[in-house]
Amino acid sequence: MSEPRLTRLPQWQALQRHAYAIGQRHLREWFAADPQRGERFVLEDVGLYLDYSKQRVDADALGLLRELATARGLPQRIEAMFRGERINTTEHRAVLHVALRAPAGEKILVDGHDVVADVHAVLDRMAAFAEQVRSGAWLGHGGKRIRNVVSIGIGGSDLGPVMAYEALRAYSRRDMTFRFVSNVDGTDFAEAVHGLDAAETLFIVCSKTFTTLETLANAHAARAWSVAALGDERAVAKHFVAVSTNAAEVAKFGIDTANMFGFWDWVGGRYSMDSAIGLSTMLAIGPEHFHAMLAGFHAMDEHFRHAPLERNLPALMGLLAVWNNNFLDAASVAVLPYEQYLKRFPAYLQQLTMESNGKRVTRGGAAVDYATGPIYWGEPGTNGQHSFYQLLHQGTRIVPCDFIGFGQSLNPLPVQGGGDQHDLLLANLIAQGEALAFGKTAEEVRAAGTDAALAPHRTFPGNRPSSTILAQRLTPRVLGTLIALYEHSVFVQGVIWDIDSFDQWGVELGKQLAKTTIAELTAKDEPKLAHDSSTNALIRRYRALRDGHT
């Protein structure tokens, strides 16, 4: 199962030599040597235009990266995923988020069973339920229609739904309120239900396992809040639905499994926003838009599966990420959507990328001797420009950037004197990529009249790589395509690094230790502590602060 050691592969070593040879060459030189570079180093398909000409690669680097992908068996690994093989080896599971958006009638078998039929059965139930709620046919316990939806979940059971709701708000029911609770901090719950009428409020409890501490605590709080306001335990039947793979735990919580929407162990939490975990999305935008989003995902799935490596968007993005990470030593990636509706997209991508590829051993369990998943972070433009872009332009670290923008605004806003604020927005996106790539030399600064002492401060080194992704307009379909682009790019990186991108053992230790700590924090008498001296002192100090003893 385990691949040969990555760093010993001739393709890897050839890339190292090539990176050494071209590493310091400036993007100014690349563009001067090839005036058509900005039109040649682009790839357009399934409604997305990717300009990667400002990445520090030449055709040879790209060729070597593709050879590396072939040596790592990328085409075969893609097929294995689509065929439903158990490529999540440490959990012995298939990885079939692509089945969530496969059209009805397509067949994908897991243990001889067609999962696409199951997917569509759930989608149909979700649509019927969404229509009932949206039309007012589904009534709360006291006979009022549902006007508020509060989705409770965390991680993959929250970040996707929140991101999609924010992204597609323009398509949502404006006469309904959608809120999200994730944090176990009581403030999150308190603020989410603030001002809501319990008689008009539906809770969706989203948890793949239905055992997650935060989600269960918030679900219990929600039930207590509902029942206290509505004065009847039976209200739960009309005000709570669950999304989970664990019917037994859902029933134990007290939600009738008739009000449960299922999914399957072959859907990873961070790959689940297009499963029933997206019920809040469907309630907000309606089944038709939800299906358009699924079609967008599917279009990218098909492209990823069938496009040759040299014309394959996720393969290219994944390989560029490997190049920047391993050959240019860039430890992080900034995702910079110039689209306010995508304000939660970087947060969503953080889980997708870092829970997937933040691994230090190969699938076979050997320690890696190369860097794996970079740190993803970001904020919408133009806001970030007035905060952290200083470091992007003049700091000592190289941070490759993904700029994302759209040709048309969903909220055009004319500017006095002509044009639209959208032009201002996109001018900034385009200018930032240009400034990062080409910078401003000391000579240019001095020629502009800056005095010698200030010149170093006003010089921009440039040669900072970025990609720009453009689409016509942010629609449900385009959102699906964009998310699938990143999902598959993450997969490509994991294949090169020979890691299991679909497990997440790294989240376990903290959870386990918290159980002991909870008991120690809540013990009536001063507990006997056996941690290290820092942990012991923090527990004592917290207890004292909480109890007002300091």
Active site residues: 355, 386, 511
Residue 319 and residue 69 in contact, taking contact as beta carbons nearer than 8 Å: yes
Of the pair 244, 493, the CB lying nearest ligand F6P is at 244
CA distance 76 to 79: 5
What is the closest distance, in whole angstroms, from the C-beta atom of residue 210 to ligand F6P in the complex? 7
The encoded tokens of residue 473 equal 């307009």
Q: Where do the H-state alpha helices sit in 200-326?
A: 213-230, 236-239, 247-253, 279-306, 313-322
In order of 49, 152, 218, 245, 266, the CA distances from 208 in angstroms are: 34, 12, 15, 5, 11
Of the pair 403, 502, the CB lying nearest ligand F6P is at 502
Residue pointed to by tokens 């901090």: 185
What is the closest distance, in whole angstroms, from the C-beta atom of residue 278 to ligand F6P in the complex? 13
Strand order in the sheet with 201-206: 177-181, 148-152, 201-206, 240-244, 260-262
Backbone angles phi, psi at 25, to 5 degrees: -65, 135
- Give just the sign of the alpha carbon dihedral 120, 121, 126, 128: positive
What is the closest distance, in whole angstroms, from the C-beta atom of residue 114 to ligand F6P in the complex? 25
Looking at the DSSP bridge assignments, the partners of residue 177 are 148
Return the ∠ at Cα 278 (arms to 181 and 350), rounded to 5°: 65
Of the pair 153, 286, the CB lying nearest ligand F6P is at 153
- 424 contacts: CB under 8 Å, gap ≥ 6: 415
Using CB under 6 A, list all residues that contact ligand F6P.
Answer: 154-157, 207-209, 212, 215, 269-270, 355, 504, 507
CA distance 121 to 516: 42
CA distance 199 to 354: 40
CA distance 56 to 250: 51
| Count of beta carbons in the 10 Å neighbourhood of residue 415 | 11
What is the closest distance, in whole angstroms, from the C-beta atom of residue 510 to ligand F6P in the complex? 9
H/E run at residue 401: strand 401-406
Of the pair 54, 270, the CB lying nearest ligand F6P is at 270
Give me the half-sphere count of Cα atoms (radius 13 Å) on the Cβ side of residue 26. Answer: 12
Of the pair 246, 468, the CB lying nearest ligand F6P is at 246
CA distance 17 to 364: 28
| Count of beta carbons in the 10 Å neighbourhood of residue 381 | 23
Give 477-527 as a DSSP string.
HHHHHHHHHHHHHHHHHHHHHT--TT--GGGHHHHHHHHHHHHHHH-SSPP
Of the pair 91, 106, the CB lying nearest ligand F6P is at 91
In this chain, which residue has its C-beta nearest to ligand F6P? 269
Of the pair 7, 257, the CB lying nearest ligand F6P is at 257
Of the pair 59, 507, the CB lying nearest ligand F6P is at 507
Of the pair 208, 477, the CB lying nearest ligand F6P is at 208
What is the closest distance, in whole angstroms, from the C-beta atom of residue 270 to ligand F6P in the complex? 6
Of the pair 209, 536, the CB lying nearest ligand F6P is at 209
For helices 279-306 and 159-167, give the axis angle rounded to 10 degrees.
Answer: 90
Return the ∠ at Cα 247 (arms to 242 and 249), rounded to 5°: 85
